[in-house]
Amino acid sequence: MQLGFSFDISRCSGCMACMVACMDQNDLAGNGATFRHITRLERKASPGVTVSFLSLSCLHCGDAPCIMACPTGAIYKREEDGIVNVHQDLCVGCHSCALACPFGAPQFPDGGKMTKCNFCLERVEKGMEPACVRACPTKALGFGPIDELSNEKADRASRAILSSYYLNPGAEK
Amino acid sequence: MTQSPVLLILGNGGAAIHAVMASRDAGHTGPIHLVSDTSGPAFNPMLAPYFLAEKIRFEDCFPFGEDFYDRHHVTCHFGSPAATLNALNKEVLLESGERLSYDRCLVATGSRPTLPSIPGLNNSPRVFTLRTPKDTIALHQALSSTKHALVMGASMIGVKLAEILMGHGIKVTLVDVADRVMPNAAHPDCASHLARKIREKGVDLRLDSRLKGIEDGHKTMACHFETGQSIEADLCLVSTGVKPNLDFLDPDHVELDQGIPVDERMKTNAEELYAAGDISRGFNPVTGKKEIIGLWGNACWQGRTAGLNMAGSDTVYPGTIPHHISSFFGLDFVHLGNINRSGEDVKILANRDFSGGAFYLLVFEKDILVGVNAINTISHAGSLKSAILQKYVWSDYLDFRMKNPTDEQIDRILASFRTKN
């Protein structure tokens, strides 16, 4: 089984609740490393601009490049749920994982050992949602087994397409 | 094939170990033979500086452990390197006289340090290199009695070693024939900032500087410069480059070109002969050329690719670009891709008035990012590397008249790439 996050960019209002919840859960300092990162995007539209937000953390990749790059074997993938985690006692702080990760997930508070999103392991293991998902007021963030998430996504997309044809009385002809 | 093929792996580094793991993961149940001139577990030379800096124990430099070979049912032929490889008969003769035949063979014999041809350098007991476990122990033992060290080669590892030696209370003279530090990794506009910082921290940095000769004395060695100056040092640590271990290969059997050219499956031009790691010239997807990219991570990916293909699967590795990240003298330094491009299609954006904080230098060719230097900002390093490999066109997102690319601007552009599709 592989756990994953889902993110619906059309629902994200950029409120940063996910980031704050993450910092609270993981005891991160307000001015230092964050495991979840939000970027404001502006795109030209006519008229004006379209603003959207991207909330990103470690994606717990299926074949995680950080694991291959680590010289000590400190980074590993849990068989039971696919969560990518780090043995901090093995980490030498070489930053190789930071170069391997295309998402900027690895963090090095105080220039020391690598730390990053671990999917709120202690919450998930007790049957709870990760803190960021729990805090998201618009349900832009979700989580679950990857297979279920992709089924849900396909389902939502099909509904959206079908409703535009038949079920939306407000739609202009 | 009715019988499981015999795999032979020459070498005992990251590429060799990952080839073993991958071929077992891919279901190869037949014999795997591994040949190495060393006789212990696989060593990661990248970790030696951390041991010398006393951040890890010596045994931590062997990340796969001693039981790796038993766990993966590998027959080890330790203590003797390959003497000749006959790719036509698929046979390897070891220096011990042992003869091994194979169905598929991986050459992952790595590289060794080279010494510049300076009189007195080759046979001095005070001259050290850093590559093997033996080198590491010898250098470590010498540190306690060293007051002044000469480090040759202001490469990334040379600078890192200078910092480590200083941490042991040793005075360091760092010499390079190039007119700037890290000539392959740092653009001149970036190298000048690094050199200033290195000097500020107390290193006697001598660039554009050549040694004429070395004379061993009773207690110290005299290092004579071409300018006529001399210094007395207790040891000389050479980090001026490496060369691939390919002396046992026959150019009539396999193509050799300062390394072994390989395709995306890690195949050489010889039948059933693969190469991976520091000996292989793999594909650089940005330049479109084959080159040696001597990085631990690259060796591991190449080894894995070779191992999967030797076990009968069909796997390609698209290759990588040169990339480095290192912390020294209180700086985090990043190098990606090719920073030494020139020509009318080349544009460079840089924080040229850098005095502290974050520094970016971005090299574009035809509006595509091809090289990066960064100081004291690492959060976008991996994303920028990915952007180079993806060959995104930046002109839609970036004003090339901009003088000071900031973290925030780069963050937005990278996020735009991510949400493009």
Query: 3-state class of B184 per DSSP?
Result: coil
- Whether the per-residue pLDDT at A173 is higher than 80: the answer is no
The C-alpha atoms of residue B23 and residue B389 are separated, in whole angstroms, by: 27
Closest approach of B393 to chain A, Cα-based (Å): 16
**Nearest chain B CA: its distance from A54 CA (Å):** 7
**Interface check B116 vs A, CB under 8 A:** no
Chain A, nearest residue to B301 by Cα: A68
Average pLDDT for residues A11-26, to the nearest whole number?
96
**Among residues 96-155 of chain A, which lie with CB inside 8 Å of chain B?**
96, 98-104, 106, 108, 111
- Residue A168: pLDDT over 90: no
Chain B environment of A49 (Cβ under 8 Å): none
Q: How far is A14 from chain B, CA to nearest CA, in Å?
A: 14
A65, A88 Cβ separation under 8 angstroms: no
**A92 and B CB contact within 8 Å:** yes
Question: In DSSP terms, which residues pair with B336 in a beta bridge?
Answer: B323, B372
Task: Spell out a b/e string for B210-232, using b for 16 or more CB atoms within 10 Å of the CB, else e.
Answer: ebeebeeeeebbebbbeeeeebe
Question: Above 90 in pLDDT, residue A157?
Answer: no
* Residue of A92, A97, A103, A116 best to disrupt the B interface, most CBs of B under 10 A: A92
Rounded to whole angstroms, the Cα distance separating B10 from B268 reads 14
Task: Tell me the residue type at B81.
Answer: P
Do A9 and B419 count as a contact with CB atoms less than 8 A apart?
Answer: yes
Q: Closest partner residue to B63 among A72, A99, A100, by Cβ?
A: A72
Structure tokens that stand for B150 in this block: 């000469």
| Alpha helices, H only, B100-232 | 133-143, 156-167, 188-200
Q: A138 is written with which tokens?
A: 């618009």
What 8-state DSSP symbol labels residue A156? H
CATH 3.50.50.60 fits B7-112+242-310, yes or no: yes
CA distance B221 to A26: 54
Tokens found for residue A62: 């299926």
Token pair, residue A168, equals: 């939306």
The answer to whether the CB atoms of A73 and B63 lie below 8 A apart is yes
pLDDT at A172: 47
Q: Using the structure block, give the residue that is written with the tokens 């060794």.
A: B112
Helix (H, G, I), strand (E, B) or coil at B363: strand
**B330: exposed, middle or buried (Cβ count in 10 Å: 0-12, 13-18, 19+):** exposed
CA A120 to chain centre: 11
Phi-psi region of A115 (alpha: psi -120 to 50; beta: other; left: phi over 0): beta
Strand partners, B77: B35
- Alpha-carbon distance of A34 to A16, in angstroms, equals 12
- pLDDT, tens only, A45-75: 888 999 999 999 999 999 999 999 999 999 9
**Domain boundaries of chain B, sorted by first residue:** 7-112+242-310, 127-238, 323-420
pLDDT in tens for each of the 421 residues of chain B? 457 999 999 999 999 999 999 999 999 999 999 999 998 899 999 999 999 999 999 999 999 999 999 999 999 999 999 999 999 999 999 999 999 999 999 999 999 999 999 999 998 999 999 999 999 999 999 999 999 999 999 999 999 999 999 999 999 999 999 999 999 999 999 999 999 999 999 999 999 999 999 999 988 999 999 999 999 999 999 999 999 999 999 999 999 999 999 999 999 999 999 999 999 999 999 999 999 999 999 999 999 999 999 999 999 999 999 999 999 999 999 999 999 998 999 999 998 777 777 899 999 999 999 999 999 999 999 999 999 999 999 988 888 887 788 888 899 999 989 887 5
DSSP state of A111: G
CA distance B89 to chain A (A): 34
Integer Rg of chain B from CA? 23
Check CB contact of A93 with chain B, cutoff 8 Å. yes
Instruction: Report d(CA A75, CA A72) in Å as an integer.
Output: 8
Residue B379 forms contact with A (CB below 8 Å): yes
Q: Chain B interface, mutation test: which of A91, A94, A108, A115, most B Cβ atoms within 10 Å?
A: A94
> Nearest CA to B235 among B140, B313, B366?
B140
Q: Residues A100, A102, A106, A109: is their CA dihedral positive or negative?
A: positive
A73 touching B, CB under 8 A?
Answer: yes
Q: Is B396 on the interface with A (CB under 8 A)?
A: no
Q: How far apart are CA A57 and CA A75, in angstroms?
A: 16
| Nearest chain B CA: its distance from A130 CA (Å) | 23
Q: What is the pLDDT of residue A170?
A: 52
Q: Whole-prediction pTM value?
A: 0.93
Q: Give the domain B127-238 fold.
A: FAD/NAD(P)-binding domain (3.50.50)
The CATH number assigned to the domain with range B323-420 reads 3.30.390.30
- pLDDT at position A167 is 57
pLDDT band at A44 (very low <50, low <70, confident <90, very high): confident
| Per-residue pLDDT, A171 | 47
**Which residue of chain B is at minimal alpha-carbon distance from A73?**
B63
Same fold, B7-112+242-310 and B127-238: yes
Judged by CB atoms closer than 8 Å, whether chains meet at A95 and B332 is answered as yes
Whether A10 contacts chain B with CB within 8 A: no
Overall residue count recorded for chain B in this entry? 421
Identify the pLDDT of residue A110: 77
Question: At B205, is the secondary structure helix, strand, or coil?
Answer: strand
Count CB pairs under 8 A between chains A and B: 89
CB contact under 8 A, B383 and A40: no
